[in-house]
Amino acid sequence: MKLICEVVEDVQYITEENKDSGKKDLYIVGPYLQWDNPNKNRRIYPREILEHEVNNFSENKIKHNRAYGELNHPDTPKVNLDRVAVLIKELKSDGNSFFMGKAKVVDTPMGNITRNLINEGAKLGVSSRALGTLTAKDGYNHIGKDFALKAIDVVADPSMGNAFVNGIMEDVDWLWDGKEYIAEKARKAIEESVAHREFNEAKAFEIFERFLDGMILR
């Protein structure tokens, strides 16, 4: 699996009053992810695949305040809590071709740096960080069904973001993360079978057997 990152520069900064603290919270909002249309990295994210993973990310991370973002990309898919700058609060379809995001700048060392940069007029962007496979077709790279969104980071220099990502991060095969992916597939299979009222002892055994086979193969 490849580490896949997409930089978005077209974001805005808004403040909202926090009714609990009486202070104003700072948010970074804009089009975080795009489906079907080729992006500037010549990648295409099929709507069904992107929509499925965004729903998963929203349900399992955003809903539980676990959708973290760092200041600048680390060089691995792993989220480093000591570098968290934002907390993703929303990812919603605009009904056209984008998932609009809203990230709260949090009160951490990296969050405070982000806030100060914005207050000083710095140009920041956001960049999704994910794992997945790419299939070349008709001059474009198509995202595979194993796409897994890991984080959405703040990028301090959007104009250089793609050069950094393409030159350093995306050339690495992240095989070590395969077991996490296998476990995630098993979890999704259980949830889907429960939703369709198909989960029983035989189904549970089938999913568990596939999980063990995948772990052994890796």
| Choice among 127, 142, 193, 196 that is catalytic | 127
Residues belonging to the chain = 218
Indicate if 127 belongs to the active site: yes
Indicate if 73 belongs to the active site: yes
Give, for 113, the enclosing helix (H) or strand (E).
helix 109-119
Contact partners, residue 120, CB within 8 Å, separation at least 6: none
| Choice among 21, 73, 159, 193 that is catalytic | 73
Number of neighbours of residue 166 by Cβ within 10 angstroms: 12
* Closest of 58, 83, 50 to residue 69, by C-alpha: 83
Helix 178-195 to helix 201-217 angle, to the nearest 10 degrees? 170
DSSP state of 22: S
Ranges of beta strands (E only) in 106-197 are 125-132, 134-137, 140-143, 148-155
β 24-34/98-105 pair status: antiparallel
Which residues participate in catalysis according to the annotation? Answer: 73, 127
